[in-house]
Amino acid sequence: MVCKRIIPCLDVKDGRTVKGVHFVNLRDVGDAVELGARYAREGADELVYLDISATQEGRRTFTDLVRKISRRIDIPFTVGGGISSLEDAAKLLEAGADKVSINSAAIRNPGLIDELATHFGNQFVVVAIDAACVDGRWMATTHGGTRPTDKELFSWAREAQERGAGEILFTSMDHDGTRNGYPCDTMRALSSALQIPIIASGGAGSIAHIAEVLSDGCADAALAASIFHSGEIPIPVLKKALIEKGINVRPI
C-alpha cells in the first residue's frame, strides 16, 4: 500500500517564508531554507515552495534559493509561482527542484502541461487548481482566488491528467485559511474521477482534519502551512496520531 504523504507548504517572498490568507496580510515566519530543513528532519515526506512575488528579479532570487534548498534537504520538493514556460521550469529543475507546479499559466495555455510532460516527464509536473464553489459547481480561480475562470474543477483536472500532469494539487478557496477542515466529499469525488494522485490543500486546522481528508477524502497527500509554521501541530506528533488511527504514513 502506498503511504499517504504529509507536505508542508512554504510561501516565499524575498527568500523568507511568509504566511497570510490569499497572499495578503503577510507575516514573516522564518528562513525558507532553515524551515524546510527542519521539516525534513521532523519527518515531512515532501515540501512545496511557492514564489509569491515571481517578478523577474524575484525569479532569479528564487532560483538561487532553490539551489540552496537542494543542498540542505534530502526529501523531494516542488516549486511553483510564475512558471509559464519550459525555460522557467528548466531553470528550477536544474537548480535542484524535484517537481514544478503550474496554475494560472496552465489555465491560460493548457498546452504548457503537454510541453512540460513531454520534455521532463509526467512525474515532474504538478497542476495546481484553486477552486471555489459557485452555485453548486466547483470552478477554478486564479490570483489567490480573486479571479474566476470558466474551468470547472472536475473537467479541468481530467484534462490536466490527459495532457500529462503527474499530480493535482487541489486547494479549496472556500476553506483556505478557515482552519475548519477540507472539503472531503469533493476530494473523494475528485480522487474517484482521476487516476493520478491528489494533494489536498486548504482548511487544515487539526490532526482530525488531516486524518479525515487522507481517509474519508481519499487524498493521497495533505498539504498545510499555518499549523506547521506555528508549531501548533509538530509533524512527529501528527504522524504518530495518524498511525494510531490506522492511516498508512511513513514513520519518523
Structural domains of the chain ordered from first start: 5-244 (3.20.20.70)
Which of the pair, 126 or 12, is modelled with greater confidence? 126
Q: Pick the closest to residue 170 from 230, 180, 185, 162 (CA basis).
A: 185
Instruction: For residue 252, give the amino acid letter.
Output: I
Q: Pick the closest to residue 224 from 175, 174, 184 (CA basis).
A: 175
Query: pLDDT value at position 22?
Result: 55
Query: pLDDT value at position 143?
Result: 82
Task: Over range 1-23, report the average pLDDT.
Answer: 82
Query: pLDDT value at position 131?
Result: 97
What is the total residue count of the chain?
252
| Model confidence band, residue 151 (pLDDT cutoffs 50, 70, 90) | very high
Residue 236 has pLDDT above 70, yes or no: yes
- Provide the β-strand partners of residue 31: 16
| Model confidence band, residue 186 (pLDDT cutoffs 50, 70, 90) | very high
Q: What is the pLDDT of residues 51-64, one digit of tens each?
A: 887 655 557 678 99
CA distance 73 to 175: 30
Task: Over range 109-115, report the average pLDDT.
Answer: 98
Residue 17 near residue 32 (C-beta atoms within 8 A): yes
The catalytic residue positions are: 11, 130
Residue 25 has pLDDT above 60, yes or no: no
Q: What are the residue ranges of helices labelled H in the chain?
A: 32-42, 56-72, 86-94, 104-108, 111-120, 153-163, 184-193, 207-215, 226-229, 235-244
Instruction: For residue 28, give the amino acid letter.
Output: D
Task: Over range 72-101, report the average pLDDT.
Answer: 96
Task: Over range 101-106, report the average pLDDT.
Answer: 95
What global pTM score does this model have?
0.93
Q: Pick the closest to residue 103 from 89, 83, 123, 124 (CA basis).
A: 83
Query: pLDDT value at position 52?
Result: 81
Query: pLDDT value at position 252?
Result: 84
Task: Over range 207-215, report the average pLDDT.
Answer: 98
Cell readout for 234 is: 509538530
Mean pLDDT over each residue of the chain, to the nearest integer: 92
Percent of the chain with pLDDT strictly greater than 70: 93
